[in-house]
Amino acid sequence: MAKNLEAARNLLKASLDKSKQVGIELDETGSRLREINQRLVPLEVEFREVYNHRTTYVRVKNQVDCVIGPIAAIPRVYKAIIELEKAIAFSEPHTELFSYLFLIRRLEEGLKFLGSHSLLAIRWLEGVFELFEGDELLMNLKDSSGVLKKLHGMEESCHIQGGLLSNALDKLEIELGKLFALTSSLGEIHAIMERLKANGRLEKCVSLFVEIRVSIAKRRLQALGLDYLDDVKISNNVEIYIEQWSMHLELALKQIFDHEYKLSKKVFEKIGSNIWMTCFARISIESGILSFIQFGNEVANMKNDPIKLLTLLDIFKVLNNLRMDFNRLYGSSACIEIQNPIRDLVKRVVENAYDIFQQLPFQVGSQRRFSPPQDGSVPRLVKFITNYCNQLLGEDYKATLIEVLTINQQWKQEIYEENLLSIQFHNIMKEIGLNLDSWSKAYSDTSLSYLFMMNNHCHFTNLRGTNLGDMMGETWLTSHDQYKDYYATLYFKETWEKTLLPLLTQKGTTSLISVSISRLKAFNEAFKESYEKQSNWVISDENLRQKMRGILVEKVVTTYRCYIQSYKALVEQDSSAGKYVKHTENSLEIVNVFYYSVLNKCSENFVKYFNL
Q: What is the CATH number of the domain that holds 559?
A: 1.20.1280
Q: How far apart are CA 473 and CA 479, in angstroms?
A: 10
pLDDT value for 145: 46
Residue 232 has pLDDT above 60, yes or no: no
Report the share of the chain in percent with pLDDT over 90: 42
132 and 264 assigned to the same domain: no
Report the share of the chain in percent with pLDDT over 70: 65
239 and 331 assigned to the same domain: yes
End-to-end CA distance of the chain: 121
Give the dihedral sign, CA 317/319/324/325.
positive
Lowest mean pLDDT, pick from 99-113, 421-435, 511-525, 576-590? 576-590
19 and 44 assigned to the same domain: yes
pLDDT value for 6: 52
pLDDT value for 30: 38
Q: Is residue 80 part of a domain?
A: yes
Q: How far apart are CA 96 and CA 348, in angstroms?
A: 56
Total structural domains in the chain?
3
288 and 191 assigned to the same domain: no
Work out the average pLDDT over 107-119. Answer: 63
Q: How far is CA 223 from CA 178, 219, 399, 433, in A?
A: 22, 6, 34, 51
Q: Please provide the DSSP assignment of 209-237 as one string.
A: HHHHHHHHHHHHHHTT--GGGG-TTGGGG
- Which 8-state DSSP code applies to residue 370? S
Q: How far apart are CA 176 and CA 556, in angstroms?
A: 94
Q: Is residue 175 part of a domain?
A: yes
Residue 301 has pLDDT above 80, yes or no: yes
541 and 585 assigned to the same domain: yes
Residue pair 111/158 in contact (Cβ under 8 Å)? The answer is yes
HSE at residue 235, side-chain half, CA atoms within 13 A, is 11
Q: Is residue 279 part of a domain?
A: yes
pLDDT value for 559: 76
pLDDT value for 33: 36
160 and 304 assigned to the same domain: no
Residue 601 has pLDDT above 80, yes or no: no
Confidence of residue 24 (pLDDT cuts 50, 70, 90): very low
Q: Is residue 435 part of a domain?
A: no
Q: How far is CA 49 from CA 134, 159, 215, in A?
A: 17, 47, 75
State which amino acid sits at residue 160.
Answer: I
Residue 48 has pLDDT above 70, yes or no: no
Q: How far apart are CA 47 and CA 50, in angstroms?
A: 5
pLDDT value for 555: 78
Q: Is residue 565 part of a domain?
A: yes
Choosing from 344, 360, 376, the residue where a domain stops is 360
332 by Cβ neighbours in 10 Å (0-12 / 13-18 / 19+) ranks as middle
84 and 181 assigned to the same domain: yes
Our separate counts of H helices and E strands in the chain read 25, 0
Residue 21 has pLDDT above 60, yes or no: no
95 and 220 assigned to the same domain: no
Work out the average pLDDT over 494-515. Answer: 67
The winner for highest mean pLDDT among 41-45, 378-382, 566-570, 607-611 is 378-382
Choosing from 310, 327, 360, the residue where a domain stops is 360
Lowest mean pLDDT, pick from 128-137, 248-257, 295-304, 310-319? 128-137
pLDDT per position as a tens digit, 344-387: 999 999 999 999 999 999 999 999 999 999 999 999 999 999 99
Residue 499 belongs to domain spanning:
493-601
Q: How far apart are CA 559 and CA 500, in angstroms?
A: 10
Lowest mean pLDDT, pick from 134-148, 242-256, 436-450, 529-543? 134-148
pLDDT value for 612: 24
Choosing from 133, 163, 196, the residue where a domain stops is 196
Q: How far apart are CA 550 and CA 130, in angstroms?
A: 131
Residue 53 has pLDDT above 80, yes or no: no
Q: Which residue has the higher pLDDT, 445 or 515?
A: 445
Residue pair 290/340 in contact (Cβ under 8 Å)? The answer is no
pLDDT value for 452: 96
Secondary structure class of 548 (helix, strand, coil) = helix
90 and 231 assigned to the same domain: no
169 and 217 assigned to the same domain: no
Q: How far apart are CA 511 and CA 530, in angstroms?
A: 28
Q: Is residue 590 part of a domain?
A: yes
Residues, the chain, total?
612
Q: Find, among 408, 425, 298, the residue nearest to 353 by Cα.
A: 408
Q: Is residue 545 part of a domain?
A: yes
pLDDT per position as a tens digit, 175-210: 899 999 987 788 889 988 988 998 889 999 999 999
Confidence of residue 148 (pLDDT cuts 50, 70, 90): very low
315 and 180 assigned to the same domain: no
Lowest mean pLDDT, pick from 128-142, 303-317, 384-398? 128-142
Helix 186-198 / helix 97-131 crossing angle, nearest 10 deg: 10
Q: Dmax of the chain from CA atoms? A: 207
131 and 244 assigned to the same domain: no
Residue pair 526/543 in contact (Cβ under 8 Å)? The answer is no
Q: Is residue 390 part of a domain?
A: no
Confidence of residue 262 (pLDDT cuts 50, 70, 90): very high
Helix 323-330 / helix 258-268 crossing angle, nearest 10 deg: 20
pLDDT per position as a tens digit, 61-106: 555 555 555 555 566 666 666 666 666 766 777 777 877 777 777 7
Residue 136 has pLDDT above 90, yes or no: no
pLDDT per position as a tens digit, 443-489: 999 999 999 999 999 999 999 999 999 999 999 999 999 999 999 99
Residue pair 584/541 in contact (Cβ under 8 Å)? The answer is no
- Which 8-state DSSP code applies to residue 611? P
pLDDT value for 106: 74
Which strand (E) or helix (H) includes residue 289? helix 289-300
Contacts from 394-397 at CB under 8 Å and sequence distance 24+?
394/467, 397/310, 397/313
Residue 499 has pLDDT above 50, yes or no: yes
The alpha helices in 441-557, defined as continuous H runs, are 446-461, 467-472, 474-492, 501-505, 513-533, 542-551
Average pLDDT value for the chain: 76
User: CB neighbours of 567 closer than 8 A, spacing ≥ 6?
Assistant: 516, 520, 577, 581
Q: How far is CA 165 from CA 74, 76, 147, 153, 251, in A?
A: 19, 19, 21, 13, 44
